[in-house]
Amino acid sequence: MTEGSIRYRNPVELKIAAKENLDGKWLVAIAITVVAWLLLDAFTSSNGGNAAYKYIIENGRSIRVETDGSAFKNMMSIVSLIIGGPIYYGVASYFLKLARYEEAGFNDMFSGFSMFKNNFVLHLLMIIFTVLWAMLLIVPGIIAAIKYSMAFYIMNDNPEIGGMEAIRRSKEMIDGHKMRFVEMWLGFLGWFLLGIATFGLGMIYAIPYYRAAKANFYLDLKQSYSV
């Protein structure tokens, strides 16, 4: 796709670029994906880490009773909220470096903790705004998430800005390109469905693949937007 003198890669080209970026880097990319999931999602979902059991004696028999483990789940949700911003920043940093053919390593995942405040605020604002829009209807919530999707890449390139400014720039950058983002995401729908069908195992491949393509999508947008 070409607009003026700027050429934007189509979903197929973005996937090809993603595979090139990941060549020889799959092991680290998968490790980052799994660790991020363990830190942020594994114990906060409705089925993750919230089942607990206790045994009671009734009429001389031992009976197992399931409890909801809500205290543990709530604690992990708080942990996810606190560290989510720095982790998402670090994940974006790793895949952005891959897209630029720069040296990238597992330690990049934790690079966001050096600017904890800005990343925490950005993550918190993204959650608040997305939830508020989703309370109106599901579609506005999805659109909001798309609008904010470039924020952590922008923060990587501009570590001096705050959360609100990163969101503002993300909204401006993706304006007019939301359908291109959706088309790219749909290009991975089959992989996501395969991941679900394999009880999450397929996501080990699909998520790094998608994140690498998303980083390339950001680089395309940056051609026409000074951040």
Query: What digits encode the pLDDT tens for the residues 52-75?
Result: 444 444 444 544 444 555 777 788
Q: Model pTM? A: 0.86
For 149-183, what is each residue's pLDDT tens digit?
A: 999 999 999 999 999 999 999 999 999 999 999 99
Separation between Cα atoms, residue 217 and residue 187, nearest integer Å: 13
